[in-house]
Amino acid sequence: MPDTSPVMIADVDATYQPTQNERLRQGIVSALRKFASADLRLEMQRDYETRVQPALLTKNAAPKDWRDVDAAMTSEASYRFYSVMRYNAQEMVWHSVQDPVERGLPQMIEAAERIAATRPTGGSLRLNPDFEVPRYVAGIDVHLIPGSYDWPGNGSHIAQGAVVSHGAAVFYASMPNLRGIGGGVGESIARWLKASRPDFKPRRMLDIATGIGRNLFPYIGIFADVEAHGLDVAAPGLRYGHAIAERDGLTVHFSQQSADRIDYPDGHFDLIVSSFFFHEVPVKTTQQILNECHRLLAPGGIMVHMELPPEKMLDPWDNFRWNWDTANNNEPNYTLYRSQDPAKLCAAAGFDPARAFEMHIPNYETFGAANFAKFVRGEMPAPAHAMGGWYVFGAEKAG
């Protein structure tokens, strides 16, 4: 009788085997998303600048802020077509990877459980079966991901971690300015810190809202001997990230926690980072998280958060187009977060304003090592956020 027992697979990604038709579909979806979010956006902007805005000026109704632009554009065909295409392309991204993830799910769960039991690198996965996932994650399909990050709840599942990981690859595949997104932010920040602060050698670091850890992993290679920790509220991503880290020989300590109530002791970390996070949480929680960062940092420690550029830095049109996600991409805190001043938030958390910063840094992979070195020396500016660069803010804790 043939052996029909499940095959033990050490690599959770080896279970993800899209068919040729599924890969073709993913390629089409990726191209469609690029067309919607980049090409159609530029066409919409051209329509605004050549037709809508001049009409407003003739009526002495020049837009004062993004709300005026929004009011002028909401009923325009260019905006409506852009919105329909972008919304549907966003949904298609996640749908395009669900079938191959589901097909390999039993083996994926088996592989993840095997890795969690053996822990070849000595990393850890600390989950809380009684943890209550915040409503801003559990209550809506964030980014239009079916089931958000935590489906189907705080059980033993790992599927959503794989859906988010492989979906992100489809999401950014046709956007060259964002190449390296699956770790590009972490690599860029780590290399900037290493080059601009050669004496900075963090002993322990924490990545808040780490997801599957993609933007945490680069720090391990760039800062020798750093003890890496990542926290998140969603268990599926943590399970998936832990399996990926152990597979790749990276020692990472994952834990399920909310960033506004972290259980590590005071002064435990020398470096705290996050990527694409603060605009996802309620405004009242933003300050609580920064307060936690100040508490957790050791004297001389640094926090660096990659985020959306704040409203104060952009003109009415750019604020209008960034804030599209608030009503259309299930990110209800997006606009309110961007209306805040990160420098003031850092000061309110206890950081010395003289030690705070906000700036753009280049995406290392697309900018290139030579140009990146010029940027660090002040000889070359960084590209704009999401156009080959990343907006970051943060502060150094006084010694």
The answer to the question of residue 113 being in a domain is: no
Q: Are 329 and 90 in contact (CB under 8 A)?
A: yes
Evaluate if pTM is beyond 0.85: yes
Residue position matching structure tokens 């079938």: 99
Pairing of strands 356-362, 389-396: antiparallel
Of 296, 338, 333, 300, which Cα lies nearest the Cα of 316? 338
CA 346 to chain centre: 20
What whole-number distance in Å separates Cα of residue 226 and Cα of residue 218?
11
Model pLDDT, residue 50: 98
The answer to the question of residue 126 being in a domain is: no
Model pLDDT, residue 4: 43
pLDDT along the chain (399 residues), means of 10: 44 92 97 95 98 95 95 97 97 97 92 88 93 92 94 76 94 66 87 97 98 96 96 96 94 97 98 96 96 98 97 97 96 96 97 97 95 97 94 96
Residue position matching structure tokens 């080896």: 14
Q: How many Cβ atoms from other residues are within 10 Å of residue 74's Cβ?
A: 10
What whole-number distance in Å separates Cα of residue 397 and Cα of residue 399?
6
What whole-number distance in Å separates Cα of residue 327 and Cα of residue 333?
10
What is the count of structural domains for the chain?
Answer: 1
The answer to the question of residue 255 being in a domain is: yes
Give the residues across from 357 on adjacent strands. Answer: 394
The answer to the question of residue 219 being in a domain is: yes
Model pLDDT, residue 220: 96
Please, which contacts does 343-347 make with residues 24 or more away whose CB atoms are closer than 8 Å? 343/393, 345/286, 345/287, 345/290, 346/290, 346/393, 346/394, 346/395
Show the domain range for 385: 167-396
Model pLDDT, residue 181: 53
Cβ-proximal residues to 196 (8 Å cutoff; 6+ apart), any chain: 376
Half-sphere exposure of 43 (CA within 13 A, CB side): 15
The answer to the question of residue 40 being in a domain is: no
Model pLDDT, residue 160: 94
What whole-number distance in Å separates Cα of residue 34 and Cα of residue 116?
37
Of 17, 7, 246, which Cα lies nearest the Cα of 112? 246
Cβ-proximal residues to 219 (8 Å cutoff; 6+ apart), any chain: 186, 190, 205, 207, 226, 228, 271, 273
Q: What is the CA radius of gyration of the chain?
A: 22
Amino acid at 210: T
The answer to the question of residue 24 being in a domain is: no
- CATH of residue 252's domain is 3.40.50.150
Cβ-proximal residues to 126 (8 Å cutoff; 6+ apart), any chain: 253, 254, 255, 256
Cα dihedral 242, 247, 187, 196 in deg (nearest 10): 90
State the burial class of residue 249 (Cβ atoms within 10 Å of its Cβ: 0-12, 13-18, 19+).
exposed
The answer to the question of residue 78 being in a domain is: no
Model pLDDT, residue 173: 76
Cβ-proximal residues to 381 (8 Å cutoff; 6+ apart), any chain: 360, 375
Model pLDDT, residue 151: 84
The answer to the question of residue 26 being in a domain is: no
